[in-house]
Structure 1
């Protein structure tokens, strides 16, 4: 039987995700990195955006091109040809954020990740950055990998089965899943579905107007430091970021 009140979210990994990704993690008891799903090119799996004087800039991790459409996220390898993508990304972050109020506070942490850590697979990159950022934000959610579970069934059955194995009574989903998620499948297993609502983020001091919410959370960290939680939805007793019914965005 599901544990009373245990809330779980299941989502594929992303590269230095936006703040909403971490609000989702912080809103559950257990978060499952779901990298057994098919890799999608030109998506958030291997890239994200930062602010620059010339507008938004993509930081993209190069990956092996052949047969990507047949690979799961966990099977995708990063390309480490010279110059290393890690060096290029770090230089871009230094160039655009070195004057941010809290860049130096986190400089060593991210410099070590970019310049002193070797990665073979994209999932390894994403998980390392996600866990590091969770530590910075003091997010205590248990993060597990899909490989710890028996994966079986169709798209919905897989999610239900993971929730059951995790002992969840509540499944928290991002709003994008409204297009395919069948709540009745969860209800049949005694699992309630809730939906994350990303409306209502406050602006924070940000370089290079106009303000944009949909950038890597590194932007928020470098600009606000320990105050980053004040600009997120899952901290400071804000409980209105979750809806029991589907939302429009």
Structure 2
């Protein structure tokens, strides 16, 4: 039973995002959808002694209201990469596995060779998956022919990749028409994000919803023990 998930790319996503990747056979980055401002596409949170802090990748949006995620350009006129890496170093350099993770993570910030947000996100997602040993095939929706209609498009993408089960995040219950999957003979399942155990974390009370980098810096290869679908 081939399992498929279709999700927009996020910037250094939280651990639940990677559990969904690990739970399926093909993960399709849904980046030919319209870019949404003040969303997870270009930002995420880290922990600091003062509480959570946003790290936001600046993008060019002026006059580009209908641009797709994969068309969205990073604003290279700002030193965002240096600032993000400085923030990560300041807040995680005392974490047990900072040195190990920084060896493969720092080039994304110090070399900063990405012009588009989708490419940056996909590069970081791929690197994190490799570290965690997640072997799921990752593709892009732009690799396929897209049908019209919100739910019909998802079901059609599943059919194009021979998917037999579609795994969806729970927030999509508000708009998904399950009949399209039923008519296509595709099982629809809802992913469950609750029940995560706490792990050793810096800076005050525990917070689940921060970037997965928080987990990696603190737990290294033991991070899988605190996830649901990643093998230890």
Asked if the contact 1:39–1:68 (Cα under 8 Å) also holds between the matched residues in 2, the reply is: no
Give the structure 2 partner of residue 157 of structure 1. Answer: 152
User: Structure 2: how far apart are the matches of 1:121 and 1:109?
Assistant: 20
User: Structure 1: how far apart are the matches of 2:230 and 2:41?
Assistant: 25
The yes-or-no answer on 1:132 pairing with 2:112 is: no
TM, length-normalised to structure 1 = 0.91
Give the structure 2 partner of residue 51 of structure 1. Answer: 47
Q: Which runs of 5+ in 2 are unaligned?
A: none
The yes-or-no answer on 1:25 pairing with 2:21 is: yes
User: Structure 2: how far apart are the matches of 1:114 and 1:186?
Assistant: 41
User: Structure 1: how far apart are the matches of 2:65 and 2:185?
Assistant: 35
Give the structure 2 partner of residue 246 of structure 1. Answer: none
Give the structure 2 partner of residue 206 of structure 1. Answer: 201
The yes-or-no answer on 1:177 pairing with 2:206 is: no
User: Structure 1: how far apart are the matches of 2:118 and 2:224?
Assistant: 26
Asked if the contact 1:102–1:223 (Cα under 8 Å) also holds between the matched residues in 2, the reply is: yes
Give the structure 1 partner of residue 2 of structure 2. Answer: 6
Matches within 5 A, 1:89-168: 89-168=84-163
Asked if the contact 1:39–1:72 (Cα under 8 Å) also holds between the matched residues in 2, the reply is: yes
How many residue pairs are counted as aligned between the two chains?
232
- 1:233 offset after TM fit, Å? 1.2
Superposed CA RMSD in Å reads 1.1
TM, length-normalised to structure 2 = 0.98
Asked if the contact 2:163–2:186 (Cα under 8 Å) also holds between the matched residues in 1, the reply is: yes
Q: Which runs of 4+ in 1 moved over 4 A?
A: none
